[in-house]
């Protein structure tokens, strides 16, 4: 057997780094400014422990664009590099000086604010440059040096006359990247990536960043006003104010800080432009946080900052990263904690915000079992009288009246208060309480909740006649004989489309309508599901037809009167009129049939 080392040629690997390390060329600026920030923070750390005895002085990092010379310069007053350090840190690709520094000083001082990690960031400058120069002077004794490289593995290193401590990185921008010579473009990039960096960044004589953003401060030191102002700082083009916020601050078992805001969520979820922003040690990484926070939390706004989320890695890596998974479930827990706290502390206030957070909470309950368990305590259900109950409270409230003879608890609901008005009124006249479940997500939500309940079902108010929705004792006797029903049935069937309506007789109360239209709960749910493309594998059956029951109230005096009518033309006219009234109350009478109904009504009045 033979063992050996694979020989990696720098000539071959360099173009690969250039091309594939980062998909986005613009991040070169983020990398170089981060290095400048690191250099400054390292100097501060050295000054603190007395290893650097000179004056630190003013340390703003400056970005200069020279359109004529086609250069971008990043200038810092940090710790600088000696010639040997340049050879080690810059010429050795993937040797991170940042990591080395952290390992060396972590026991002596706080080095948590150093950004670098992989020792690859600097090379991103070659994605946009035909040549890169470094002019640097270390805080240590010795001459300054100038390094130059055109992107091939060959470089030059020489002494330089520079006297001041610090580093200038000068990028000679390649022709295919001249978009970066537009000051407006640089301004945009700085605002995107560097807005909250911890060292002052100067561009065109202005400081562009806030070095102490709210999420880095102690929650106790911030007022509600501070949080609102920070929201505006994050989303300068947003007109809305957030409903409330959560300040995250964890340091074990992972590091995570941040502020999440609850916005008002519209019924229709829009394409969201103000998204959660992800930072790593105050450096912006991304605002597509799909793999880091659970889907339902993407409706929130704000910032997350975790040094444990690596800067330069791919999405697929993020997805499988253990830290990322922990962060995700931690955030879910914190959000549930906050909602529960708000609910307990001031229920009235919580209720006043309910409409704005309802979609978010229902979506969360549907998609995350742990969140669902927590949300049982604060998820609310609104009745047609605008009373808000938790599911438990509602069940307790309806127990005496809405338990059927099989001891099943019946949750009544409406999907449209105006269209189902007469059915709601009938239910209320029995003392029943009807829930309003009228958003698109609600139909999923009903199915979901029902599977978690024992001995209970959800039934829409118009799914059947009221006495059949909640079956109590045996129904009252019918005033019509079977023979009377049999003769009247074909008369009714003549005036309505037979393929759509099934005529049934029921002995309802005299006070109920003479004729009613109902649609069985299972029928409607099947239709709803196939309309949404789901249907639990029933999609192949196509959309089921609309089928209704036409219920004739055999105890209603009007029905007896129609049956007694000897003029068969008049009898048909009255039957049609009564059936049309029923259709009308369900909003099912339309077009020509509606026109005819109005004409007939006028004739009958005359």
Point out which residues bind ligand ADP (CB under 6 A): 31, 35-36, 39, 76, 78-81, 89-90, 96-98, 116-122, 167
> Could you tell which of ligand ADP, Mg ion, none binds residue 235, using a CB distance below 5 to 8 A set by kind?
none
Considering only 27, 29, 33, 35, the residue that binds Mg ion (CB under 5 A) is 35
> Could you tell which of ligand ADP, Mg ion, none binds residue 76, using a CB distance below 5 to 8 A set by kind?
ligand ADP
Q: What token pair was written down for 61?
A: 């990092």
CB of 124 to Mg ion, least distance (A): 9
**Quick check: 242 binds Mg ion (CB under 5 A)?**
no
**Quick check: 307 binds Mg ion (CB under 5 A)?**
no
| Closest chain position to Mg ion (CB) | 121
Looking at the Cβ atoms of 24 and 182, the one nearer to ligand ADP is: 24
Instruction: Judge contact between 339 and 373, C-beta under 8 A.
Output: no
Looking at the Cβ atoms of 168 and 467, the one nearer to ligand ADP is: 168
Instruction: For the beta carbon of residue 133, count every other beta carbon within 10 angstroms.
Output: 18
Burial bucket for residue 480 (CB in 10 Å: 0-12, 13-18, 19+):
buried
> Could you tell which of Mg ion, ligand ADP, none binds residue 360, using a CB distance below 5 to 8 A set by kind?
none
CB of 178 to ligand ADP, least distance (A): 24
Looking at the Cβ atoms of 35 and 255, the one nearer to Mg ion is: 35
**Quick check: 116 binds Mg ion (CB under 5 A)?**
yes
CB of 325 to ligand ADP, least distance (A): 25
Can you say whether residue 122 is alpha, beta or left, with left for phi > 0 and alpha for psi between -120 and 50 degrees?
Answer: alpha
**Quick check: 121 binds Mg ion (CB under 5 A)?**
yes
Instruction: For the beta carbon of residue 579, count every other beta carbon within 10 angstroms.
Output: 22
Looking at the Cβ atoms of 48 and 561, the one nearer to ligand ADP is: 48
Instruction: Judge contact between 94 and 124, C-beta under 8 A.
Output: no
Looking at the Cβ atoms of 115 and 492, the one nearer to ligand ADP is: 115
Task: Please give the torsion angle defined by the CA atoms of residues 251, 254, 260 and 266, in that order, rounded to the nearest 10 degrees.
Answer: -160
CB of 280 to Mg ion, least distance (A): 12
Instruction: Judge contact between 44 and 78, C-beta under 8 A.
Output: no
**Quick check: 80 binds Mg ion (CB under 5 A)?**
no
Burial bucket for residue 53 (CB in 10 Å: 0-12, 13-18, 19+):
exposed
| b/e 238-276 (16+ beta carbons within 10 angstroms → b) | eeeebbbbbbbebeeebbbbbbbbbbebeeeeeeeebbb
CA distance 570 to 552: 18
Looking at the Cβ atoms of 198 and 302, the one nearer to ligand ADP is: 198
CA distance 144 to 75: 15
Looking at the Cβ atoms of 117 and 358, the one nearer to ligand ADP is: 117
Sheet containing strand 166-173, strands side by side: 155-160, 144-149, 129-137, 166-173, 71-76, 61-66, 201-203, 206-207
End-to-end CA distance of the chain: 110
> Could you tell which of ligand ADP, Mg ion, none binds residue 97, using a CB distance below 5 to 8 A set by kind?
ligand ADP
CB of 116 to ligand ADP, least distance (A): 2
CB of 137 to ligand ADP, least distance (A): 10
Among the residue ranges 31-39, 185-193, 247-255, 263-271, the one whose residues contact Mg ion (CB under 5 A): 31-39
Q: What token pair was written down for 465?
A: 């006649």
Please give the distance of CA 19 from its chain centroid, rounded to a whole number: 33
CA distance 562 to 578: 10
Looking at the Cβ atoms of 26 and 31, the one nearer to ligand ADP is: 31
CA distance 315 to 320: 9
Looking at the Cβ atoms of 39 and 259, the one nearer to ligand ADP is: 39
Looking at the Cβ atoms of 114 and 365, the one nearer to Mg ion is: 114
> Could you tell which of Mg ion, ligand ADP, none binds residue 155, using a CB distance below 5 to 8 A set by kind?
none
Among the residue ranges 57-65, 113-121, 276-284, 473-481, the one whose residues contact Mg ion (CB under 5 A): 113-121
Among the residue ranges 116-124, 206-214, 416-424, 555-563, the one whose residues contact Mg ion (CB under 5 A): 116-124
**Quick check: 124 binds Mg ion (CB under 5 A)?**
no
CA distance 458 to 381: 13
| Closest listed residue to residue 449, CA positions, set 362, 527, 511, 519 | 362
> Could you tell which of Mg ion, ligand ADP, none binds residue 117, using a CB distance below 5 to 8 A set by kind?
ligand ADP
CB of 358 to Mg ion, least distance (A): 45
> Could you tell which of Mg ion, ligand ADP, none binds residue 350, using a CB distance below 5 to 8 A set by kind?
none
> Could you tell which of ligand ADP, Mg ion, none binds residue 189, using a CB distance below 5 to 8 A set by kind?
none
65 sits in which H/E element: strand 61-66
| Closest chain position to ligand ADP (CB) | 97
Residues near Mg ion (CB under 5 A), total = 3
Looking at the Cβ atoms of 74 and 463, the one nearer to ligand ADP is: 74
Residue 601 to residues 322, 485, 512, 566, 595, Cα–Cα distance (Å): 72, 26, 21, 20, 10
DSSP string, 404-445: -TTS-EEEEEES-TTTTHHHHHHHHHTT--EEE--SHHHHHH
Under the rule (CB under 5 A), what is the footprint of Mg ion?
Answer: 35, 116, 121
């Amino acid at each position: 057997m033979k063992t050996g080392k694979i020989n990696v040629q720098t000539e071959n690997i360099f173009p690969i780094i250039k091309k594939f390390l980062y998909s986005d060329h613009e991040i070169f600026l983020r990398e170089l400014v981060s290095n400048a920030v690191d250099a400054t923070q390292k100097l501060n750390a050295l000054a603190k422990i007395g290893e650097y005895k000179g004056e630190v002085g003013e340390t703003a990092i400056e970005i200069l664009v020279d359109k004529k010379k086609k250069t971008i310069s990043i200038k810092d007053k940090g710790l600088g590099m000696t010639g040997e350090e340049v050879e080690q840190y810059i010429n050795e690709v993937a040797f991170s000086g940042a990591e080395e520094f952290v390992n060396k000083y972590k026991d002596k001082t706080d080095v948590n604010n150093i950004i670098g990690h992989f020792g690859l960031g600097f090379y991103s400058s070659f994605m946009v440059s035909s040549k890169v120069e470094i002019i640097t002077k270390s805080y240590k004794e010795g001459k300054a040096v100038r390094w130059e490289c055109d992107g091939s593995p060959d470089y030059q290193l020489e002494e330089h006359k520079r006297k001041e401590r610090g580093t200038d990185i000068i990028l000679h921008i390649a022709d295919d990247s001249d978009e970066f010579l537009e000051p407006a473009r640089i301004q945009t990039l700085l605002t995107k990536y560097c807005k909250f960096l911890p060292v002052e960044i100067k561009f065109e004589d202005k400081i562009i960043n806030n070095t102490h953003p709210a999420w880095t401060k102690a929650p106790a030191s911030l007022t509600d006003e501070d949080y609102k102002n920070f929201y505006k700082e994050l989303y300068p083009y947003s007109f809305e104010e957030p409903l409330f916020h959560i300040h995250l601050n964890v340091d074990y078992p992972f590091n995570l800080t941040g502020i999440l805001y609850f916005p008002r969520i519209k019924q229709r979820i829009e394409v969201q432009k103000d998204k959660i922003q992800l930072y790593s040690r105050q450096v912006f990484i991304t605002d597509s946080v799909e793999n880091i926070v659970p889907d339902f939390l993407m409706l929130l706004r704000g910032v997350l900052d975790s040094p444990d989320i690596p800067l330069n890695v791919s999405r697929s890596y993020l997805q499988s990263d253990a830290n990322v998974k922990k962060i995700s479930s931690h955030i879910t827990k914190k959000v549930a904690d906050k909602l529960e706290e708000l609910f307990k502390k001031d229920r009235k206030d919580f209720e006043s915000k309910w409409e704005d957070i309802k979609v978010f909470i229902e979506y969360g309950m549907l998609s995350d079992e742990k969140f669902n368990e927590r949300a049982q305590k604060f998820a609310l259900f609104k009745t047609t009288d605008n009373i808000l109950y938790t599911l438990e409270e509602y069940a307790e409230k309806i127990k005496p009246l809405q338990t059927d003879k099989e001891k099943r608890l019946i949750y009544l609901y409406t999907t449209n208060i105006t269209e189902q008005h007469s059915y709601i009124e009938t239910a209320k006249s029995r003392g029943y309480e009807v829930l309003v479940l009228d958003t698109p997500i609600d139909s999923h939500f009903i199915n979901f909740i029902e599977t978690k309940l024992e001995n209970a079902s959800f039934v829409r108010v118009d799914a059947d006649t009221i006495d059949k929705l909640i079956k109590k004792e045996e129904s009252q006797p019918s005033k019509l004989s079977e023979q009377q029903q049999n003769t009247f049935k074909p008369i009714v069937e003549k005036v309505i489309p037979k393929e759509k309506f099934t005529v049934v007789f029921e002995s309802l109360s005299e006070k109920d309508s003479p004729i009613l239209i109902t649609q069985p709960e299972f029928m409607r749910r099947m239709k709803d599901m196939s309309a949404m493309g789901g249907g639990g594998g029933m999609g192949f059956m196509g959309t089921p037809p609309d089928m209704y029951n036409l219920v004739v109230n055999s105890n209603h005096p009007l029905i007896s009167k129609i049956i007694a009518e000897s003029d068969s033309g008049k009898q048909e006219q009255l039957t049609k009129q009564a059936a049309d009234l029923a259709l009308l109350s369900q909003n099912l009478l339309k077009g020509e049939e509606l026109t005819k109904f109005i004409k007939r009504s006028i004739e009958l009045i005359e």
